[in-house]
Structure 1
């Protein structure tokens, strides 16, 4: 039954037509505020107060709240496009795009598809400009090529979705491919170069890598890196970073350990997998009181901070509970995908 008036059942949303299609007015206004804030920051004219991108979501549907979360709205409210430029959030955004770009993307709404391609275009522009994290972008590019080929597959002689929508997607995809073709990773004229540093300094850099794939790639560059990566200390520290002492001790007791920490790391990885939360410098968090998603470093306007009475009740109950980390796989569970 269509809504004939604004009542407790109606969302009461106002929509505005833009060049990219119809947008919710409140989401559009929020995006303009964030864009204005970022422009002021870049020009050195930051306004008073800190804008905190956040988005309240529906955790559980009830009779009173028969709601759902719209992926494109949440992405815009959390300012994902500008988050690409933050080195702490880049890997998180790429991991999310990696889960979505592919066959699953054809099942998303048109607005969500446009939002994701806009994020991917932002990733392409950022990598082409900064020359940082090209490996993550190439992985996304391979999935995008597969998606572009799948788009040409026909059901009853036409691609999934409207022809106009996919024509717009094709223009965006071709633009991303063009950026990728023009991208050249050139060696910066920095002094000294990495391999000119003392071996002790190179070792300290290697010890701060949290991804085993980066260690393996580093070992293939030169003999010096290969010798450092083969040291037991490097794999021991990586093992302690990803696994608890209890897990390590259980593996030591179970396996006949001969001092090979690389073998032990691979064994633990097969058994427990890698802790997803430890792979990102910055993650989304979920407030247990406001039901808001927010970036951990930026915070959000929480009821626990704004209401003295609520804060007092929390103190009597044992203090406020920390927000829950939300890795990319958990983030997608908030949507009907």
Structure 2
């Protein structure tokens, strides 16, 4: 019988080998208005963007963690069976990553606690998709994950205590406190959260003085709440900062602003700008989603490519 149709080995098709040994065509995920509901489920997005494998990329870890947190907190009751399975695969890979590196332990503990609370809040009604025994198994699995994270924290604490006990008075170890003030200032300037700056300032007197410098808080305010235009001093401050100054009935003088106080007031009112090392982008020509650092073969090669970053909340809103 003759073969009718295009050979799957034809030029231009990219095929990859799956875990079970079969071959599948590389997928390009499009979120155009005509295909959102019919072709782009959450599990499709996780598979096409390789979310599970991307957990091992430290630049993508926090972005994926934020997506997972939003799903647990707000969308758990709307997830299909395939979405639940994909979510548990991501969580399992995140746990493996934490065990391997020892990083983001507190973040994973918060995620698991949120997931556990979301499931417990449905008892005894279990309005989520699936049976009560299924969600009981989910609870047992999450409990084991939480115990694993707690054990890792306990082991790290014991290791730190052993290191302190074994340190002799003659050991000369370079710590952050021994760095010149100029270097400490450069490190603190690169923190993107005011709470972290305050916590650093509680270490010792020198770091406290560094953490109180208004220039650091001014740069932090401009980063999160400042304007994009640089035509004048006031335009650089941005409308959010100017609105706060007018509300306090103060003259808009950037040299006399209490930037630390202004930061926390603006944070309560507007929230912070989301910062990630790498984000998912959407092509404005073909409407495809792709990771920022990956190549995007847009079919509209003759036009100038353009894309916009997709925040975790926007991604969840689109898909669920």
TM over 0.5: yes
Which position in structure 2 is the counterpart of 1:308?
none
145 and 67 in structure 1: CA distance in 2 versus 1, 3 angstrom threshold: closer
Partner in structure 1 of residue 10 of structure 2:
none
Q: Is the 8 A contact 1:88 1:280 kept in 2?
A: yes
Q: Shift of the alpha carbon at 1:187?
A: 4.9
The answer to whether structure 1 residue 247 and structure 2 residue 217 are counterparts is: no
CA positional deviation for 1:167:
4.7
Contact 2:59 2:276 in 1 (8 A): yes
State whether structure 2 residue 132 is matched by structure 1 residue 154.
no
TM-score by length of 1: 0.70
CA drift of 1:229 comes to 1.2
Q: Displacement, 1:209?
A: 0.8
Distance, in Å, in 2 between the alignment partners of 1:142 and 1:292 is 33
Secondary structure of 2:281's aligned partner: strand
Q: What are the residue-to-residue correspondences of 1:121-160 with 2, within 5 Å?
A: 121-150=92-121, 153-155=123-125
Change (3 A) 1:259 1:288: closer
Give the secondary-structure state (helix, strand or coil) at the position aligned to 1:57.
Answer: coil
Q: Which runs of 5+ in 2 are unaligned?
A: 1-14, 164-171, 228-235
Matches for 1:1-337 after TM superposition, within 5 Å: 32=18, 55-61=28-34, 67-102=38-73, 104-150=75-121, 153-155=123-125, 161-163=130-132, 165-184=134-153, 185=156, 187=160, 191-242=173-224, 243-244=226-227, 245=236, 246-247=238-239, 250-251=242-243, 254=246, 255=248, 256=250, 258-276=256-274, 279-305=275-301, 311=302, 314=303, 320-335=304-319, 337=320
Partners of 1:55 and 1:74 within 8 A in 2: no
| C-alpha distance 199-32 of structure 1, shift in aligned 2 (>3 A) | farther
Maintained 8 Å contact 1:54/1:295: no
For 1:154 and 1:73, the matched residues in 2 are separated by 31
CA distance in structure 1 between the partners assigned to 2:37 and 2:316 by the alignment: 19
Cα shift at 1:80? 1.2
Partner of 2:166: none
Measure, in 2, the Cα distance between the counterparts of 1:292 and 1:210.
30
Tell me, in whole angstroms, the C-alpha distance in 2 between the residues paired with 1:286 and 1:158: 33
Deviations 1:238-296 (A, max 9, x none): 112222213366247524263311122233334443333xx111100001222211001
| Counterparts of 1:138 and 1:230, CA distance in 2 | 31
Question: Cα 1:253–1:101, aligned 2, differ >3 Å: closer, same or farther?
Answer: closer
* Residue matched to 2:3: none
- The range that moved more, 223-232 or 251-260, is 251-260
Q: Which range moved further: 180-189 or 226-235?
A: 180-189
Per-residue CA distance 1:124-158 (angstroms, 9 max, x = gap): 2222321222332232122023134235x123x99
Number of equivalences: 272
Partners in 2 of 1:149 and 1:183 — Cα distance?
Answer: 24
Contact 2:112 2:142 in 1 (8 A): no
Contact 1:54–1:292, Cα closer than 8 Å, also in 2: no
* Deviation readout 1:194-248 (Å, 9 max, x if unpaired): 2222222111111011122322332333333322211112101111222221336
Structure 1: gaps (5+ residues): 1-28, 36-52, 306-310, 315-319
SS in 2 for 1:89: helix
RMSD, aligned α-carbons: 3.1
